[in-house]
């Protein structure tokens, strides 16, 4: 692993926002390459699971929506009357605007996942998040804001990196994540960008599967469980408000 240093908690929000702006044009292909296109099926699973948990859902909020992959999937569900995608990177959102067909049910907004004050309490049946929770500077504050805007019995589904559980695979998973994945980013972007090093290194300070499940329960979420993908390389947590 190289000598890359994560930004401090104080500098993290601006660091993440500006650097995501910088890699927005390569981000979709980067996700395809580094996950061997598997992220697409994981995001399909997120939406299916959310709808399964709240079959009568009418509203959904996709936080840290980036280029709009999960927002697009939610928008295709015609039983939802309101779909909001929110991200604090204006450049990433610009790609979401091009990806998602114009639809009066769908809003794409610039905003901070830790400050959802533009939404009233109990506004959404579903809240989703894809590879964004580890980028916030205060994880518990973000989870409490999500809980506030969820309706009673609403569901939160979070997709992010996990810990590979089989010990004999962990070495190979770490080598790939920390050494190979940044190279994909450099090739796609055309030059080095710290964000492609940040993405794997941010996983080192992000809670593992069991710890995040415990945090969710401590904050008052119910029926918390998680689903590992590819031996835990990625994981989805599902929690009811």
pLDDT, tens digit, 9 for 90 and up, residues 87-114: 999 999 999 999 999 999 999 999 999 9
- Residue 120 buriedness (CB in 10 A; 0-12 / 13-18 / 19+): exposed
Predicted local distance difference test score (pLDDT) of residue 188: 81
- Given a contact cutoff of 8 angstroms between Cβ atoms, the answer to whether 143 and 219 are in contact is yes
Predicted local distance difference test score (pLDDT) of residue 4: 75
Q: Report pTM.
A: 0.93
Which portions of the chain are predicted below pLDDT 50? Answer: 1
pLDDT tens, position by position, 110-156:
999 999 999 999 999 999 999 999 999 999 999 999 999 999 999 99
Return the biggest CA–CA distance within the chain. Answer: 50
Instruction: Give the integer Cα–Cα distance in Å for 202 and 225.
Output: 23
């Amino acid at each position: 692993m190289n000598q890359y240093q994560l930004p401090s908690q104080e500098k993290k929000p601006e660091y993440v926002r500006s650097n995501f702006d910088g890699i927005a044009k390569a981000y979709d292909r980067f996700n395809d390459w580094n996950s061997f296109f598997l992220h697409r099926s994981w995001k399909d699973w997120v939406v299916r699971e959310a709808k399964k948990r709240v079959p009568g859902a009418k509203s959904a909020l996709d936080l840290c929506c980036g280029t709009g992959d999960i927002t697009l999937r939610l928008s295709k569900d015609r039983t939802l009357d309101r779909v909001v995608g929110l991200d604090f990177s204006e450049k990433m959102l610009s790609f979401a605007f091009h990806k998602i067909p114009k639809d009066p049910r769908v809003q794409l907004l610039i905003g901070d996942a830790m400050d959802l004050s533009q939404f009233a309490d109990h506004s959404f049946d579903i809240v989703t998040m894809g590879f964004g929770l580890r980028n916030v500077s205060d994880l518990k504050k973000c989870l409490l804001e999500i809980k506030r805007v969820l309706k009673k019995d609403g569901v939160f589904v979070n997709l992010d990196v996990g810990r590979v559980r089989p010990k004999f695979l962990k070495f190979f998973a770490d080598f790939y994540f920390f050494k190979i994945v940044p190279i994909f980013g450099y090739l796609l972007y055309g030059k080095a960008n710290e964000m492609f090093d940040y993405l794997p290194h941010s996983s080192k300070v992000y809670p593992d599967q069991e710890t995040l499940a415990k945090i969710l329960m401590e904050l008052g979420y119910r029926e918390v469980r998680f689903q590992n993908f590819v031996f835990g390389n990625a994981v989805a947590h599902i929690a009811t408000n």
